[in-house]
Chain A
């Protein structure tokens, strides 16, 4: 980038993971349980974020609409920081997702067993774009009525996508879901190195 010739304090490398899933599935809860800071929120006016701002005619009603993004931070080391972004839950804000997904390590799709259908669209989104993800089944009050295999079948997930039972309120549980995602990424990277191939 421009300005890199100027010497300043070394900024750390940054990477991000997305926490996705339907509205109210526990995304911000998961971000908050592993983040070293209380989740931060940034709000974007929809006009500036998604619509052509040069063309405000007829969208006066939308001017005051904002889409909120909650995120947290995990300092891995002095030279590496991991950010966790909870994706906007409402489907109509999904135009934000392309930007968000760009350059992400991967994603956690959270599922609420009581209404798994609210996370179908998130699964579809990452599958279509070839973005690696794991599925975290968030048991509310720690309750897990269905085994992972049953959930995998119900969601028609391919074998390489891991399904983990979790409790987004618990730091250890959320951490383990993130570790499972990273393990999946490591496996892909190792596999890519061992047998270079042109397809995916």
Chain B
């Protein structure tokens, strides 16, 4: 919350995304989990350093919000780069569990309750 963009952070962010401000797909949420594909597909091109940083962080499944926090980057920027990685076959993404408070969610809710009870 500093007064100005003195460190040129936004300029850097802009460069990271190649000037793009919107992701190529809209289905990455804060709790979508991403995982690096290992080994990467043979047709994948060599990732740029910032993409490489992401890949290292998601060797194990990790949520988008966590990834952004660990990389100290805005979620919006990370999502744009994740779209690149998904399109080049270097990561897989898993959407969050949909929830609607319907009977079919009872198992899930019970599981969450049991988990909280163990805290």
Contact = CB atoms under 8 A, between A and B. Distances in A.
A178 interface: yes
Contact of B74 (A45, A74, A104): A45
A38 to B, nearest CB: 11
A74 B115 contact: yes
Contact of B33 (A11, A105, A193): A11
A14 B31 contact: yes
Query: For B21, B30, B60, B70, which residue has the most chain A Cβ atoms within 10 angstroms?
Result: B30
B10 A45 contact: yes
Query: For B35, B36, B37, B92, which residue has the most chain A Cβ atoms within 10 angstroms?
Result: B92
Given A15-B99, A74-B119, A183-B113, A48 B21 contact: yes
A1 B33 CA distance: 11
A7 to B, nearest CB: 9
Interface string A144-186: 0000000000000000000000000001100100110011011
A160 to B, nearest CB: 12
Given A4-B92, A44-B76, A76-B111, A16 B30 contact: yes
B56 interface: no
A192 B114 CA distance: 21
A6 B29 contact: no
Interface residues of B, number: 61
A35 B46 CA distance: 37
A66 B74 CA distance: 9
A4 B37 CA distance: 11
Interface in B79-119: 86, 89, 91-99, 101-103, 105-106, 108-117, 119
A83 to B, nearest CB: 5
B74 A48 contact: yes
Given A3-B89, A13-B96, A45 B13 contact: yes
Contacts of A4: 92, 94
Nearest to B36: A8
Nearest to B27: A1
Interface of A: 1-4, 6, 8-16, 34, 40-45, 47-49, 53-54, 63-66, 68-69, 71, 73-77, 80-83, 85, 99-100, 102-105, 132, 171-172, 175, 178-179, 182-183, 185-186, 188-190, 192-193
Interface of B: 1-5, 10, 13, 21-22, 25, 27, 29-38, 41, 60-61, 63, 65-66, 68-70, 74-77, 86, 89, 91-99, 101-103, 105-106, 108-117, 119
